[in-house]
Amino acid sequence: MNSDAAEPAARNSSAPAAPSRLRVWFDQHLHSIVFSLGRALRKPWATLLTVAVMGMALALPLGLSIVMDNLNQFAGSVQQSREINVFLKMDVDAAAAAKLADTLRGRGDVATVELRTPEQALAAFRESSGLGEAIDALGDNPLPTLLIVTPAGDGGDAALVAALEALPQADLVQHDAVWRQRLDAWLAFGQRVVQVLAVLLGLGAALVVGNTVRLDIQARREEIGVLQLLGASDGFIRRPFLYLGAWYGVGAGLLALGLIAAAGLALREPLAALSASYASQFSLQGLDALHSGLVLLGTVLLGWIGSWTVTGHFLRQTRPTET
């Protein structure tokens, strides 16, 4: 009696355990990923066309964004435009100039003051201009003493400029704040243009993915109808198409990054020659690994959103109704 009762228990204990919900969920998603990739590869020309259109549409705002970032970095190197050049009168000697520099350093709205004597200015001009013999022929040094004043804080330079102009030792005060403000305004406008283009072209890329996925849905319309009659959930039906859109996004992101890298290589040599002609070390900076990963993540999200929108609209229209 005990042995007969023990046999079913032994058989139950030896039977394989049912897979957990997490394992089922993982298997379903893995199957959808592989299945969607296979669907994309079985239509290489259609897939290539979709990826190419998306990639080129995304490469344009991405490239413009990189250009604007480089211009911002270049403009940052022109921060010396905020410096105020105070040319002292010719009768101000070195001791008086040094005393005036110490006085200005004590002001709260002044960060630094650099004193440049006429001899130092003449030596710098001789080295940069290459006109040593012509400068020697002048005899007397015609350059005045110069104070280079760097304002403290982020703004409010007008009051400091007015105070420097009122100094009795000052002969001429130069400040390029207006030019710098105009440059900042143009850079801000350029950034806004890039943002608008990124939104418009990103929306276009999502619509391209949506249209491609819509065609794939139409090709599988009968299969989807059977799944709906069998009680398949919307999530189960939608999942392969979402991963298909994500694959399109991955391909478009890789293509966009490749186009940007190729453009950077094509522009590197002429830009280096142009920078060298101005005695500058400026070079074009591309995307690092972190920003490249963010670009790929963004393109995947665009593909996912485009697929989600189209499949959701289709499922709402074809959902079986009870009679």
Of 142, 168, 194, the residue at which a domain comes to its end is 168
Helix, strand or coil for residue 114?
Answer: strand
Confidence check: pLDDT of 263 > 70: yes
In a domain, 228, yes or no: yes
pLDDT digits (tens, 9 = 90+) for 54-105: 889 889 888 888 888 877 776 655 554 568 888 888 888 888 888 898 888 8
Q: Which amino acid is at 106?
A: G
pTM of the entire structure?
A: 0.63
The answer to the question of residue 15 being in a domain is no
146 and 68 housed in the same domain: no
Same domain for 56 and 205? Answer: yes
Predicted confidence at residue 255, as pLDDT, reads: 92
* Among candidate residues 138, 168, 198, the one where a domain is terminated: 168
Provide the residue range defining the domain that includes 101. 90-168
Integer Cα distance of 9 and 229 in angstroms: 39
Contact 118, 162 (CB under 8 A): no
**Residue 109 shares a structural domain with residue 231:** no
Tell me, yes or no, whether 271 and 211 share the same domain: yes
Q: Cα separation of 109 and 150, whole Å?
A: 9
Nearest residue to 303 via CA among 53, 26, 24: 53
